[in-house]
Structure 1
Amino acid sequence: MSDGDDHGIRFGRIAAMLPVKDIQRARDFYTSVLGFTTTFQNGDPVGFMILKRDQAELHLTLQPRHRAPPFNVAHMMVGDVDAFYALCERHGLRIIKRLANKDYGLRAFVFEDPDGNRIDVGQPL
């Protein structure tokens, strides 16, 4: 497809898949702290879960030996980045990059979820 002919292909949603060591703990974090809703889960015990809030969607996959990489695994746009940053601070989340206005037109920061997954959060300036 590098020739520019996409044959009329249209892409639908794409969601971040976050590996987690304890899927119930991760669900509790994303639902209780960040306000997501569990819309699907699969397995017995549960090994996969879909969480949604507004237009955001996250997929959690149980990976008991997960070791988080030292880079951002997802980027999330929000309507009030200052309020979201304050929420992260209130809940004692590790902040990797502090809230700042970036030269690429976003006010942004990076935090880690309880499994060490780094998420970049931004709002247009």
Structure 2
Amino acid sequence: MSTHSEIFSHAATVLAVQSMDRSLTFYRDQLGFTVTFTWQEPITYAVLRRGDVSLHLTLRDDDSRPSSVHTALYIFVYDVRAVYQELENQGVALPQAPEARDYAMEDFDVVDPDGYRISFGESVEAEGT
């Protein structure tokens, strides 16, 4: 029996990718994640981490691509403009600069090699609060 007051521990986002090498290069070299675990050789599963964000990649066994309408990852950050500048310096394609949204976030998106939309956002104080 658990001694924790909360039974849930944490969650992991798992993205199915077409090319593990291409995805590891993108997340490690362009987005700044560290590879903390890999499974098998050639690699079919990997765990990446940056700060408190953990991301898992699994090698897709078919040629299908994710639906960009339904698959997205939102990463909460403390300084969205610094993240944007860092990614710009790494040569990441950035379709738009960080923008203040009506849902009290300032954010921007990137698209990974498999078509997954990744948003980076910082909470901002809503006007009048």
SS of the residue corresponding to residue 109 of structure 2 reads strand
Aligned partner of 1:73 in structure 2 is 72
The verdict on how the C-alpha distance between 1:114 and 1:94 changes in structure 2, with shifts beyond 3 A counting, is farther
CA RMSD of aligned residues (A): 2.0
Stretches of structure 1 that go unaligned for 5 or more consecutive residues are: 1-7
SS of the residue corresponding to residue 123 of structure 1 reads strand
- List, as ranges, runs of 4+ consecutive aligned residues in structure 1 with deviation greater than 6 Å: none
Aligned partner of 2:45 in structure 1 is 48
Q: What is the TM-score with the length of structure 2 in the denominator? A: 0.79
Aligned partner of 2:93 in structure 1 is 93
Aligned partner of 2:35 in structure 1 is 38
Of residues 48, 55, 59 in structure 2, which corresponds to 1:58? 55
Aligned partner of 1:10 in structure 2 is 7
Quote the Cα distance in structure 2 between the aligned partners of 1:116 and 1:87.
Answer: 21
Q: What is the TM-score with the length of structure 1 in the denominator? A: 0.81
1:98 Cα deviation from its structure 2 partner: 4.8
Quote the Cα distance in structure 2 between the aligned partners of 1:107 and 1:52.
Answer: 23
Aligned length: 117
Quote the Cα distance in structure 1 between the aligned partners of 2:81 and 2:103.
Answer: 18
SS of the residue corresponding to residue 79 of structure 1 reads coil
Deviations 1:84-104 (A, max 9, x none): 223344414253x65211111
